[in-house]
Amino acid sequence: MTTLAITEALIPSIETLADILVQTSESYQQLLKQPESHAYCLEAGRSVRYLSSRYADVLTAAFDYTPESDDDYDDWEDEDDTSSEEALDE
């Protein structure tokens, strides 16, 4: 699987994260207009920062992915298959 294919496969998840971030940000902006909602503003602000950080992590991971990672995964699968076969032999 190519890097482009991996990135394309992640597009729905990335879009969902972006939508959640936008909705949380909009809620935060509405809360800021209401002085009685100070406690909610604090929590919404934390949520926006947390979601922004996670969104950045997902994007970074998607674009940092290299095709060599598939080889590493295949090697790991081969090792797992070997250990399963050894367990069956015992």
How many whole angstroms separate alpha carbon 24 and alpha carbon 45?
A: 9
Is 0.75 surpassed by the pTM of this model?
no
Domain that holds residue 18: 3-89
Quickly count: other Cβ atoms within 10 Å of residue 81's Cβ: 10
Q: Is the pLDDT of residue 69 over 80?
A: no
CA dihedral 51, 56, 57, 61 (to 10 degrees): 140
Q: Do residues 21 and 55 touch, judged by C-beta distance below 8 A?
A: yes
Number of domains in the chain: 1
- What interhelical angle do 38-64 and 3-32 show, nearest 10? 170
Residue-wise pLDDT tens digits, 45-62: 888 888 888 888 888 887
